[in-house]
Amino acid sequence: MSKLTETFTNIFKIQELRERLLFTTLLLIIVRIGSHITVPGVDAVLLADTIRKSSENTLFGLYDLFVGGAFSNAAIFALGIMPYISASIVIQLLGAVVPYFAKLQKEGEEGRKKITQYTRYGTVAISLMQASGVVAKLMATSTAGVPIVPEAIRGVGFYLSTTIILTTGTMFMMWLGEQITERGIGNGISLIIFIGIVARFPNAILDEFQLVRGGTRNLIVELVILVLMGFIVAGVVLITQGTRRIPVQYAKRVVGRKVYGGVTQYIPLRVNTAGVMPIIFAQSIMFVPQIIFSFFPNSEFMNELSTNWFGYSSWTYSFVYALMIIFFTYFYTAIAFNPKDVADNMKKQGGFIPGIRPGTHTSEFVDNILTKITLPGSIALAAIAILPTMMIKLGVTPGFASFFGGTSLLIVVGVALDTLQQVESHLLMRHYDGFMKSGKLRGRR
């Protein structure tokens, strides 16, 4: 305990790190404030009694979890940061199939600036589409014949103004995320999602407590659920920390009177190189059909698709979601780790894998191993991500299952570890001990 206390004390001794943490905290507070400011013209009381209940067991309920309750509040930040993530996915996919975008990805800082600009344009377009669907859903929602949006203000003016407000809210959140990444600690976009999920923790605990207190839920069942959550946490840690090491032999080189090489080093290949990004990518794509369905609130066919085929607790949703996670795991791994670059660097430094010829053969060997270890990692990610659906089928409340289930837990653990890694890097640069005695967060090297 004294070691942990000393580490936190050291954090506030470093002026730059202290300022970055305070800056990040301030912007995250602004995000939470915006999640409780309801757009003009919407009855917040009726909204709390309708949208939250009707969407609890749907994909909109999960969306509301990611934005920290802003969706059920019809807040100015109701769309959250998901449009930005969707735009980022589109741009990265274009980089794999369109030569122009592939060229931009290789142009360094200038290319990155252009890609960021295109991503912002895409965010505006996606936000406008999603905001239009949200406004249509709000205007079609009522409780006991009382509409959430009064008849007196319904019309083109309300539709356009609310759409612009929601789109502007998303763009502002995108800017906040970029500021956190540049001037704060951690990845700003991931932290915004992280704080939205964590903000629902008290509600999830309170709901389960009320069920136990009212006799609806047995205490033994509750303990079993907590044990299951413990296994989930263990699974998350194993996925995050699992690695496969490839030995690399460096030949001896004599330069003048100095001898270089002659040692064996290792290339660590993580089972889950992509981290939590496949979860976030796949989830943002799965929100798109529901947004489209929201444009047709009075269509029985669309409601059937929304509830029974693409509903959060449907088997179809789980199957498609799992396949998308596996795909994005391979896709993001290919972006984050290039075997050809590794092979070229080894060749330049006089290194080789024993029994494997340098160059193309080394690249193919590393790629083959990476493909094999990524498969179980991607399947494990998918299994943990769809676990909330299984829990709902067993009678667990959607709010509790969504928060403590795989998707939310993976994001929370992954973002927390990445943020702690950045904090630890600042500590080690100034010769302070980190959170671990070895000075490194294990599994995040």
Task: Kindly list the domain boundaries of the chain, sorted by start residue.
Answer: 2-429
Whether the pLDDT of residue 396 is over 70: the answer is: no
Give the integer Cα–Cα distance in Å for 164 and 167.
5
The pLDDT of residue 168: 93
> Per residue in 398-439, pLDDT tens?
666 666 555 677 677 778 877 888 887 777 776 655 555 544
The pLDDT of residue 108: 76
Give the integer Cα–Cα distance in Å for 130 and 73.
16
Whether the pLDDT of residue 171 is over 80: the answer is: yes
Whether the pLDDT of residue 318 is over 90: the answer is: no
Q: b/e map of 91-121 (b: 16 or more CB within 10 Å)? A: bbebbeeeeebeebbeeeeebeeebeebbee
Q: What is the mean pLDDT of residues 129-136?
A: 83
Considering 2-11, 47-56, 172-181, 312-321, the range whose residues carry the highest mean pLDDT is 172-181
The pLDDT of residue 257: 53
pLDDT greater at residue 341 or residue 21: 21
Whether the pLDDT of residue 14 is over 70: the answer is: yes
Burial level of 325, CB count in 10 A (0-12/13-18/19+)? Answer: buried
Which H, E and C letters describe 107-162, residue by residue?
A: CHHHHHHHHHHHHHHHHHHHHHHHHHHHHHHHHHCEECCEECCCHHHCCHHHHHHH
Whether the pLDDT of residue 187 is over 80: the answer is: yes
At 394 the three-state DSSP class reads: coil
Whether the pLDDT of residue 394 is over 70: the answer is: no
Whether the pLDDT of residue 77 is over 80: the answer is: yes
Band of residue 270 on the pLDDT scale cut at 50, 70, 90: confident
Band of residue 395 on the pLDDT scale cut at 50, 70, 90: low
Considering 22-26, 58-62, 141-145, the range whose residues carry the highest mean pLDDT is 22-26
Q: What is the mean pLDDT of residues 379-388?
A: 79
Domain 2-429 has CATH 1.10.760.10: no
Question: For the packed helices 277-293 and 59-66, what is the interaxial angle rounded to 10 degrees?
Answer: 130
> Per residue in 209-252, pLDDT tens?
777 777 666 677 667 766 776 676 566 556 656 677 777 766 55
The rounded mean pLDDT for the chain is 76
> Per residue in 61-72, pLDDT tens?
566 666 666 777
Give the integer Cα–Cα distance in Å for 181 and 190.
10
- Overall pTM surpassing 0.85 (yes/no): no
Whether the pLDDT of residue 443 is over 60: the answer is: no
Whether the pLDDT of residue 123 is over 70: the answer is: yes
Whether the pLDDT of residue 78 is over 50: the answer is: yes
Answer positive or negative: Cα dihedral of 296, 302, 308, 309: negative
Whether the pLDDT of residue 196 is over 80: the answer is: yes
- The proportion of the chain whose per-residue pLDDT surpasses 70, expressed as a percent, equals 73
Band of residue 280 on the pLDDT scale cut at 50, 70, 90: confident
> Per residue in 15-29, pLDDT tens?
888 888 899 999 999
Quote the tokens at residue 289: 């059909």
Give the integer Cα–Cα distance in Å for 168 and 194.
21
Whether the pLDDT of residue 445 is over 50: the answer is: no
